[in-house]
Amino acid sequence: MNVAITSIAKDLGTTVQGVQLAITLFTLTMAALMIPGSKLTDISGRKKIFLIGLSVYAVGALIAALAPLLGVLVFGYSVLEGLGSALLIPPVYILVTVSYSGLARAKNFGIVSAAAGIGSAAGPLIGGVVTTAISWRASFILQVLIVLAIIALSLRIVDPKIVGPKHHLDIGSAILSGVGLLLIILGLQTTSTYGWLTATENFSIGNTVIIPQGSISPFIVISGVGLLFNIAFYYSIRHRERVGKEPLLQTRLLHNRTSNLGLVTQNVQWLVLQGSFFVMSVFLQTVRGFSAIETGLVLTASTVGLLLTSGRAGRLAQRRSQRLLIRGGFILTILGIILLLLLGNENSLLANPNSPILNFIPGLFLIGAGIGIMLTSSVNVVQSAFPDKDQGEISGLSRSISNLGSSLGVSIVGSVLVSSTLPKNEPFGVALIIMIVIAMVGLVAAILIPKKTAQPIVKEQKTT
């Protein structure tokens, strides 16, 4: 989607901001529905929910491929593919956790996390090739074919039997959580037009002015209401626990310091990865005039870096602590973004739109390498903080937080890129500087992860 932004906007008669909204809503749908989707794995079984998720995703991809208007694309891609992802992703992480332990679990988390990271990094190149050679619509058809192949392969999955009492879905809490996340992201979307603190123009619904120019910005109002919904969600699940009913999420999962810090690092990793990719994709297409395939080729530097480091995730976990790997990953990522800004001085991205393309390769490589190092470790820190019986819920929370990070990344940099107060190409530089600041937050969270989780994962010894 990132490398095909201009092609999609032109074909559907919309704008770059319209396509950005579709991308944001896709990751938001995943974030909002990931916890309920994960809960359904405890109710109906992991393999069954996985297959349902794949089927919904395929239908959404087919609708997106045939979309005549942005609204239809949003329904197929943002809604249905987002829903399908929310159903199919949690079972993968749950199955790894309940099927393996010790070194084997770290190794398989490494494989899954590497696949996720490589998919995000390689997507621009694959999408660019298909979009340039055929059409952006062909990319969605390709997704359908791939999903059908995965369905055929997944029939052989062995799903360990779920033991314990029958589970129930807390629909009320799911609605509160979903609406809360939706409003926060929608609030962020308004900043590009109405500003962050003060409304730069009238905010109207129909012909009625809801927030006049010069008053408090819609971002604060809408996101504030979203925050209230999330607070209501917390008290809803706490109330259900107190009256003896099964909540959507156990509140004790929110009170684990190790897990919470790991979740912060996960959120920041995906925020920085998707935010940086979005900045570079828009810059290369709108400023440099690159085609989809040319944009994808430049971004391949990140894929190479991610492949090299994520492929060694299992070995690194034996030699270095999880906390150290996360910290190292953030440091590499921050250095990579700094290189994007500064490499070549007068030819830097911040100063000159005609800077040589080769100047971007080292920075993009380091960003991919940094993300590849820490993806597996962050997941392992979070998932391993709880026993097998909690894996359904913590997996959903983990994936929700990660996808919320992706939504925030695209939303934040998108708002900066359309800023009318910044001249020439400065919005691109400012957006990357914001990514550095946010990555620093992730680094601090990694430093604060308790040392007891920082030991290398040792191979389990067989006993007789």
pLDDT in tens, 406-449: 778 877 887 787 665 555 667 788 888 999 999 999 999 999 99
Question: Of 181, 215, 247, at which residue does a domain stop?
Answer: 247
User: Residue 421 has what pLDDT?
Assistant: 55
C-alpha distances in angstroms, 112 versus 117, 146, 367, 380?
A: 9, 17, 19, 11
Query: Which residues lie below 8 Å from residue 10, measured CB to CB, with a gap of 6+?
Result: none
Identify whether 279 is part of a domain.
Answer: yes
List of residues 6+ apart from 315 with CB closer than 8 A: none
Whole domain around residue 49: which residue ranges?
5-157+248-453
In this predicted structure, what is the pLDDT of residue 420? 52
Beta bridge partner(s), residue 417 = none
Paired tokens of 16: 């770059």
Give the tokens for residue 342.
């500064």
Last residue of a domain, one of 230, 247, 264: 247
- Number of domains observed in the structure of the chain: 2
* 65 and 132, same domain (yes or no): yes
Q: Domain for residue 384, yes or no?
A: yes
Same domain, 149 and 192: no
Specify the pLDDT at position 313: 64
Residues of the chain where predicted confidence (pLDDT) is lower than 50? 344-347, 351, 454-464
User: Residue 67 corresponds to which amino acid?
Assistant: A
Same domain membership, residue 427 and residue 331: yes
Residues 312 and 235 in one domain: no
Residues 152 and 183 in one domain: no
- Do 40 and 137 sit in the same domain of this protein? yes
Mark which of 210, 227, 247 sits at the end of a domain: 247
Q: What angle do CA 111, 375, 432 make, to 5 degrees?
A: 135
Rounded CA-CA distance 286/74 in Å is 22
Residues 226 and 126 in one domain: no
User: Does residue 255 lie in a domain region?
Assistant: yes
In a domain, 163, yes or no: no
Looking at the structure, tell me whether residues 270 and 202 fall in a common domain. no
pTM for the structure as a whole = 0.78
Phi, psi of 198 (to 5 degrees): -120, 135
Q: Is residue 464 part of a domain?
A: no
106 and 230 housed in the same domain: no
**Residue 72 sits in the same domain as residue 218:** no
CA neighbor of 89 nearest in space, from 100, 81, 79, 99: 81
DSSP state of 80: I
Q: Note whether residue 459 is domain-resident.
A: no
Residue 159, classified by CB atoms within 10 Å of its CB into exposed (0-12), middle (13-18) or buried (19+), is middle
- Asked if residue 443 and residue 294 are part of one domain, the reply reads yes
Same domain, 174 and 135: no
Residue 27 Cα distances to 35, 81, 248, angstroms: 14, 10, 21
Query: Residue 463 domain-assigned?
Result: no
